[in-house]
Chains A and B, each alone.
Chain A
Amino acid sequence: MKNSRDNWSSKIGVILAVAGSAVGLGNFLRFPVQAATNGGGAFIIPYLIAFILLGIPLSWMEWTFGRYAGMHGHGTAPGAFHQIFKKPWAKYLGSLGLLPPLFISFYYIFVQSWILAFTYYSITGKLMEVVKADKITEFFNDYIMLNTKIGPIPAAIIFFLITFACNTALLSFGVRKGIERANKIAMPILLIMGIILVIRVLTIDGIGEGLAYMWNPDFSELTNPQVWLAAAGQVFFTMSLGMGIILCYASYLKPKEDIVLSSLTAGATNGFAEIILGGTIVIPIAIIMMSNSNIEEIAKLGTFGLGFQAMPHVFGQLPLGNIIQTLWFGMLFFAGLTSAVSIIQPLVSFCEDDLAFSRPKAISTISLITFIGGFISIFGLAAGAVDELDFWGGSFLLVLLGTIQAFIFAFVLARQKSETNPNENKAFALLNEGAAIKLPRFFRPIILYVCPTYLAVLLVSWLATSGIDVLLLTNVKPDEMVTFLGFELSKITFTWGIRIFLIVITILLNLAIAFAWNSKKAKNGRKSKIKKVEIGNA
């Protein structure tokens, strides 16, 4: 069938793809810092509670939305919401499911290219030389600020172009031959590299002291609401929730394919990478190898400082440090690659399914847009462009979309009757269809009431505690100046410039959605390669 929708070839393929999307820098760098600064071992209690009450239920919801969208030939939230509400405005609400991957793609590929570069420098031994000369901070800063050059061209731009080409090539093979195959190779390698690093860290003399910072529980922290908020936020961000990615991947499921077990397995794999690998590697070794350091100082380094400066430095002090550095960046490279393709795929899916683009045309269009966005990050990094893009794409919109999805599932889809099963509502009929393990009954009230409430509280609390300051720019000094493309301007002006750019992108996206539906290209969606089978309430 010409230009028909792709499907995953196996259950393990889609599980590894969803897990590959979720496993990223956050597992190895964000989680350990969050845990160590929020009660150590005691952090695990609110973390696991959030995993059960928020992470797993919302993940099941997104898989269900994806199945529903895929049944109607769509792969993104505009198509899913259109089918659920059958109202003209619903598809525009669905644009919220395309904005996070779009905004994140503007900076993620650039960050991904740093990992590729540092993997290369580890293999060639350059990174070891820099560490021995105690110049890792200068080396990293020179690299990201485009001062390190290969010939006349900044190395950061060369590695960005290579990374961009790799992602595009991978996506051009499609879901089954590109994304699924890549995840089946990359995920096992990533996990093996992580396990080797864990074994190496655990065999360092005196590692108990480092593990103590990570795991000794401080129960007094459990009375602090910020700790609970941090745990819920970590679960939310680590599982790729509210990004439209799980929805998109689930839309490529075969009819009557299991959702309940697959979602749980992907979540468990992510948990393994986060708690066992992420929780063991970074903080313990940083504590014992970095002189005069404590957990507050390590946390101050931030994700990039920790990953690209502190870790190469401490690994460089170990015997065979060169190899350990390569394993570290190799692991991050595979984590970044599988996450990057998952970020771009919803955008490609929208072009293919709703705008009826061919795959080459869809890839070219999205590549052009993300390429332009990428250059804003490259040249606006020092001015704070990445922070601003991350606030909207990687924080605010995720929680907003997650909350909206939870309410739609609980109060719209779960109140529609299944057409084939009169004793079941549409939401749970879709979720349980073909399930290898049926959804336990006690999870129903969690999904219908606890999860939406949890998310609403998380959204409001996050806005009240930190989000509102960033939204209103009250955290920026009025006289703070930045330089962008040779022009000196106030940081507030620059930030509003980025916001206007994002608003324009949002308007253009909604115009594309309007065009897709008005031209009837999106109304019936795209046909699947496999014969349509009636599911629950198709």
Chain B
Amino acid sequence: MEFSNSGILFMIGTWAAILLLNTFCFFKVLTKKEEKK
């Protein structure tokens, strides 16, 4: 079975979505100062 263009598109698209979500989340987590209790 050949790796089709739609397969490549799905893989790259899903990877990009997951990496973007992780980047957004960790950026927010790591840049927000923890409140002093």
Q: Interface residues, chain A, CB within 8 Å of chain B?
A: 10-12, 15, 40-42, 44, 48, 208-209, 211-217, 254-256, 258, 261-262, 264-265, 268-269, 271-272, 275-276, 279, 434, 436-437, 530-531, 533
Q: Interface residues, chain B, CB within 8 Å of chain A?
A: 1-4, 6-8, 10-11, 14-15, 17-19, 21-22, 25-26, 28-30, 32, 34-35, 37
Among all A-B residue pairs, the 3 with the closest Cβ atoms: A41-B10, A216-B7, A265-B25
- CB pair A271–B18 under 8 Å, yes or no, is yes
Closest CB of chain A to B35's CB: distance in Å?
A: 6
* B30 partner, pick from A12, A255, A269, beta carbons under 8 A: A12
Other 5 A-B pairs with CB < 8 A, given A41-B6, A265-B26: A11-B34, A215-B7, A262-B29, A269-B22, A531-B37
CA distance A256 to B37 in the complex (A): 9
* B29 partner, pick from A217, A265, A276, beta carbons under 8 A: A265
> Which A-chain residue is minimally distant from B25 (CB atoms)?
A265
Closest CB of chain B to A195's CB: distance in Å?
A: 12
- Chain A binding surface, main DSSP class: helix
Q: Which residues of chain B have C-beta atoms less than 8 A from A15's C-beta? A: 29
- CB pair B10–A213 under 8 Å, yes or no, is no
13 pairs, A vs B, C-beta closer than 8 Å: A15-B29, A40-B10, A208-B2, A212-B2, A215-B8, A217-B7, A217-B10, A255-B37, A265-B26, A268-B21, A268-B25, A276-B18, A279-B14
Closest CB of chain B to A67's CB: distance in Å?
A: 15
- CB pair A261–B28 under 8 Å, yes or no, is yes
CA distance A531 to B36 in the complex (A): 13
* B14 partner, pick from A275, A434, A531, beta carbons under 8 A: A275
- CB pair B6–A434 under 8 Å, yes or no, is no
Q: Which residues of chain A have C-beta atoms less than 8 A from B37's C-beta? A: 254-256, 530-531, 533
CA distance A265 to B24 in the complex (A): 9
Q: Which residues of chain A have C-beta atoms less than 8 A from B14's C-beta? A: 41, 44, 48, 275, 279
* A208 partner, pick from B3, B18, B21, B26, beta carbons under 8 A: B3
Closest CB of chain B to A188's CB: distance in Å?
A: 12
- CB pair B3–A211 under 8 Å, yes or no, is yes
> Which A-chain residue is minimally distant from B34 (CB atoms)?
A11
Q: Which residues of chain A have C-beta atoms less than 8 A from B28's C-beta? A: 261, 265, 436-437
Closest CB of chain B to A245's CB: distance in Å?
A: 20
Closest CB of chain A to B26's CB: distance in Å?
A: 6
Q: Which residues of chain B have C-beta atoms less than 8 A from A276's C-beta? A: 15, 18-19
> Which B-chain residue is minimally distant from A274 (CB atoms)?
B18
- CB pair A268–B18 under 8 Å, yes or no, is yes
Q: Which residues of chain B have C-beta atoms less than 8 A from A215's C-beta? A: 3, 7-8, 10-11
- CB pair A216–B3 under 8 Å, yes or no, is yes
Q: Which residues of chain A have C-beta atoms less than 8 A from B4's C-beta? A: 212, 216
Q: Which residues of chain A have C-beta atoms less than 8 A from B32's C-beta? A: 258, 261, 436
- CB pair B25–A264 under 8 Å, yes or no, is yes
Q: Which residues of chain B have C-beta atoms less than 8 A from A262's C-beta? A: 29
Q: Which residues of chain B have C-beta atoms less than 8 A from A254's C-beta? A: 37
CA distance A215 to B1 in the complex (A): 11
Q: Which residues of chain A have C-beta atoms less than 8 A from B2's C-beta? A: 208-209, 212
**Interface-central residue, A44, A258, A268, A269, by most chain B CB under 10 Å:** A268
Q: Which residues of chain A have C-beta atoms less than 8 A from B1's C-beta? A: 209, 212-213, 216
- CB pair B21–A211 under 8 Å, yes or no, is no
CA distance A216 to B3 in the complex (A): 7
**Interface-central residue, A265, A269, A533, by most chain B CB under 10 Å:** A265
CA distance A162 to B31 in the complex (A): 40
> Which A-chain residue is minimally distant from B30 (CB atoms)?
A12
Q: Which residues of chain B have C-beta atoms less than 8 A from A213's C-beta? A: 1
